[in-house]
Amino acid sequence: MRNPLVWLFGMGLGCALTLVLWVSAPAQDITGGGSLVRDISGGAALIFRAPQNPTVQLTGGGQGTLGGGKIKSSRGAKPPVRQQDTLIARANAARSASKPRYAEAEQQYQLAAKIAPDDARAYAGLGNVYVDQGRFAEAVSAYQQALKVKPDYSGAYLPLAFSLARLNRYPESIDVYQKTLKFDPSSPDVYNNLSFAYNHSGRYQDAADASLQAIKLLGETGEAFKMGFQERNEVRSYAYKNLGNAYNGLKRYDEAANALKKAAEIEPKNAAAHFNLGLTLYNAGRYSEAIESYKEVIKLRPTLAQAYFNLGLTYYAISDKPSAMAQYQVLKGLDAEMARQLYDSIK
């Protein structure tokens, strides 16, 4: 039976958001029992850097007045406080509270935008509130308005590109990430995210190039770089996963496997890294190695039905029907419908 590889793309964020994306890779003519499944998060990721609050300037306050935002002050005579600065500072404080008050923040930013419609900060602040809540369509509109008012408002570019990617608007996201590099040309997370968007657009060579640049910028010696919530090794693992996905799209399966092995070495307890490695090895026809990858997934996540399903299909690809049926027996207790599908593929 012809069996198209189904490729996994997932993402996890290190803050309150946990989001998943995936697409299918090009179909390949390989023998096996059925279509491999993709329903597991963490296979390849966007890096999320929480957007900073807009800067405000108040008189007589100093850093921290009204909370939540950077407040600039100068020595000597001080200009009168603009009303929108007061509103933006209040909104910043509401967004940055230990228990964020998003409705209040949204209201204050909207009032600031109404009072000063030519002030990009209010729109950017609104975008931040929407991103925090996963309201990405509204975030896109807010950031685009900020950039319409002030095209060089650098703080809007990165969260705008992220929001577009979350809406699967990858060509637009790519365009904005490329513009972001003008402000932040040595950012490994921007290159990583570009790779992710390129992969989802079928631009696999561009994705590979961007991943390699991210890996180069991250280095191998642990130097510091500007990040959001992710640790360096986590980001390196993401970059290698995206690189593996790109090589898979280019049908360079051995290189894809090497990249994903590196991702799994960096994050040995990341089940999704091993899961994607299993998919790649299967696509390369390296079934025995794929079996070992899926066994590793099961060690890490012993109740993950998708791993047993794919392992069963991989055993079937090497004509080991008894082992495939053993996976079916386990799968019956985890997911009856998936077990039925596996049985129909290998009976």
pLDDT over 90 (residue 176): yes
Average pLDDT rounded to a whole number, residues 10-17: 30
Least confident of 49-63, 98-112, 167-181: 49-63
Confidence of residue 247 (pLDDT cuts 50, 70, 90): very high
Average pLDDT rounded to a whole number, residues 181-206: 91
The Cα–Cα gap between 211 and 191 comes to 6
pLDDT digits (tens, 9 = 90+) for 291-332: 999 999 999 999 999 999 999 999 999 999 999 999 999 999
Least confident of 72-76, 315-319, 336-340: 72-76
Superfamily of domain 49-185 in the CATH hierarchy: Tetratricopeptide repeat domain (1.25.40.10)
- The pLDDT value recorded for residue 237 is 86
Which residue is associated with the tokens 């390949």? Answer: 28
Q: What value does the mean pLDDT of the chain take?
A: 81
- The pLDDT value recorded for residue 34 is 55
- The pLDDT value recorded for residue 43 is 54
The Cα–Cα gap between 293 and 271 comes to 9
Confidence of residue 111 (pLDDT cuts 50, 70, 90): very high
Average pLDDT rounded to a whole number, residues 243-271: 90
- Nearest-10 Cα torsion for 300, 264, 251, 281: -40
Phi-psi group of 49: left, alpha or beta (phi > 0 → left; psi -120 to 50 → alpha; rest → beta): beta
Question: With DSSP H G I counted as helix, E B as strand and the rest as coil, what are the percentages for the chain, rounded to 5?
Answer: 60, 0, 40
Task: Tell me what percent of the residues of the chain surpass a pLDDT of 70.
Answer: 77
The Cα–Cα gap between 15 and 12 comes to 9
Q: Structural domain boundaries of the chain? A: 49-185
pLDDT over 80 (residue 94): yes
pLDDT over 80 (residue 336): yes
- Higher per-residue confidence, 72 vs 182: 182
- The pLDDT value recorded for residue 103 is 97
The Cα–Cα gap between 347 and 339 comes to 12
Average pLDDT rounded to a whole number, residues 160-187: 94
> Comparing C-alpha atoms, which of 142, 147, 117 is closest to residue 129?
142
pLDDT digits (tens, 9 = 90+) for 20-62: 222 333 323 233 345 665 444 445 578 887 899 999 987 544 4
Task: Tell me what percent of the residues of the chain surpass a pLDDT of 90.
Answer: 61
- The pLDDT value recorded for residue 39 is 43
Least confident of 53-67, 187-201, 236-250: 53-67
- The pLDDT value recorded for residue 90 is 95
